[in-house]
Amino acid sequence: MTYDATVIIPWRECPSRRPGFDWVLRYYRHRFDKVIVSEQSDGKFNKSAAINSAIKHCNPKPEDVFVIADADCFIADWAMEAGISKAKVSNKLVRPHKRYLRTSKEQAEFILQQDPTKKIFFHWFHKKFNRFKAKGGVWIIRFEVFDRTGWMDEGYVGWGGEDSDFIARCGSVVMNGPLYHIWHEPAPDKSFSSPGCKRFHEKFRRRKKRR
């Protein structure tokens, strides 16, 4: 079965993440006809720039659906099917997961020996059910909605912040699926001091004052 959407995976080369990325890439290529790995490699990693560049490259139509997926995680097939169906009619970003299932280093080593084209088993993962854990992970969105929201803010340089910013501007529908995350070393550079992150936190402080 192949899904009617284009997958975009923002990527920056990292030895710790490479085994999981290769596994996740096989997972998506088995399920989608079009998978784009967008590598933004000038200076610090800029996830927003990688996503924007890939979508622009597609010359999309308003009705085109994109699955924007972090390189270290994936979702169940039933959640993907439901999420794509929802994105085709929703005027918000679809986040097809609220259960966050992580792996230990040992579990990840086991999972990477499994065939990603086959069924994924729930018991491979630690079960974390905090819906606020993952603002990123896997997103599904129609281009019409992405474009109306103003694309991703490329002011976020380094890891983190851009997902929360886009969700705040676009709004989102959260569905009851699991997000599977493959263990890797922590990101070396965070975006907390970047212009985009500073703007987002200033907006957040202003909203709190108005309440």
Domain holding 65, by residue range, is 3-210
- Write the burial class of residue 144 (CB in 10 Å: 0-12 exposed, 13-18 middle, 19+ buried): middle
Report the alpha-carbon distance of residue 52 to residue 68 in Å, rounded: 11
> Among 3-17, 148-162, 181-195, which stretch is predicted with the lowest mean pLDDT?
181-195
> 43 or 64: whose pLDDT is higher?
64
pLDDT for res 207? 45
CATH number where 93 lies = 3.90.550.10
Question: What total number of domains does the chain contain?
Answer: 1
Report the alpha-carbon distance of residue 91 to residue 72 in Å, rounded: 27
Global pTM reads 0.86
pLDDT at 4 over 60: yes
pLDDT at 44 over 90: no
pLDDT averaged over every residue in the chain: 86
